[in-house]
Structure 1
Amino acid sequence: MQKAKLTLTSLAFAMGLAALAGCSFPGVYKIDIQQGNVVTQDMIDQLKPGMTRRQVRFIMGNPLIVDTFHANRWDYLYSLQPGGGQRSQERVSLMFNDNDQLIGLNGDFRPGVSRDEAILGKEAAPGTPQQPTQQKPEQPKEEPAKPGSVEEQLQREVDEAKPVAVPTPQPLDKNPQ
């Protein structure tokens, strides 16, 4: 009888621990998980048809996947899963001809204006499509404050304020007696 109680208690304790192992406690930090090659739009914009494998490797880094059955194709994969969040993945495949020259790319990135340049409003390199620039709306001209308003009273007080000299501290006596 005593053995049965001990066995049941230990079994219940083990099941409780197993159930708690799958729980997520609030306030517990979960790390971001990054895997693969980081590929940016600026890297893709530097690629030009006819570049050699060596030039492409200098810009992009080593490919994540070099398929033995498709020797003329390099694959770059990048995966990011923020702590406890949804995983996102980006993929780029570069194709080479028999002369080891870049002939094309396929995937989530396209040549063109980089995201940074589009945000900053800089012009794209020659030969890349331009995105239309937005014109800033004209600022309305300021009208003088209406007589008797709080705004006019504040402006009058600011205009009548007289500057006050800031006192300069006296140097300390170097030879105290």
Structure 2
Amino acid sequence: MQNTKLLLASLTFTGLVALAGCSFPGVYKIDIQQGNVVTQDMIDQLKPGMTRRQVRFIMGNPLITDTFHANRWDYLYSIQPGGGKRQQERVSLMFDGNDQLVGLNGDFMPGVSRDEAILGEDNGTSVSPPQHQDQQKPEEPAKPGSLLDQIQRDVDDVKPVPIPTPEPLETSPQ
């Protein structure tokens, strides 16, 4: 009789400890991350006309490549911090028939930093990407006798030097 009371008490105590562990404050719960991590810097590096290889170099392998939509790559990322609410981000990249990047759709947009919008640095009035400085004026040659001209002459006068190859080590014992 006493053994059954002891067994019942220990089972009750074990059950209470197990239940307390589920919601006990101070119990560490891990962050659950799934998918491709996509940052704003990665999106800003994408340019129309890039090949699939160039996009894969920047973004990594897509999480989803759909058989029915072969010209679309989907990158999904979700995180559930410490048992909190799950957050999810999605980016879809579209390619044309020549395997060149033609479009982008999702939670990230080129040139728009969500961090700046959250911190209030972006007015939030418009979501237009910043003007790119692709329209730079053509580079003018350096003026004769200037420091830039001297540096260019020094660079042009550099002669390649062959790298010496080491001789193989002797493998025979002495």
Q: Distance in 2 between matches of 1:124 and 1:82?
A: 36
Does 1:36 pair with 2:35? yes
Does 1:125 pair with 2:132? yes
Instruction: Kindly name which structure, 1 or 2, has the bigger radius of gyration based on alpha carbons.
Output: 1
So what's the TM-score if we normalise by structure 2?
0.57
Shift, 1:115, TM fit: 5.2
> Identity over the aligned pairs, expressed in percent?
74
Alignment length, in residue pairs? 124
Note the 1:69-88 alignment, pairs <5 A: 69-88=68-87
Give the superposed CA RMSD.
2.9
Residues 54-91 of structure 1, C-alpha deviations (whole Å, 9 max, x = no match): 11111111112222332221111122233343322111
Shift, 1:53, TM fit: 0.5
So what's the TM-score if we normalise by structure 1?
0.56
SS of alignment partner, residue 53 of structure 2: helix
Note the 1:9-158 alignment, pairs <5 A: 9-26=9-26, 28-114=27-113, 124-126=131-133
Residues 114-150 of structure 1, C-alpha deviations (whole Å, 9 max, x = no match): 4578859xx74248xxxxxxxxxxxxxxxxxxxxxxx
Shift, 1:45, TM fit: 2.1
Match of 1:8 in 2: 8
- Structure 1, unpaired ranges of 5+: 128-177
SS of alignment partner, residue 59 of structure 1: helix
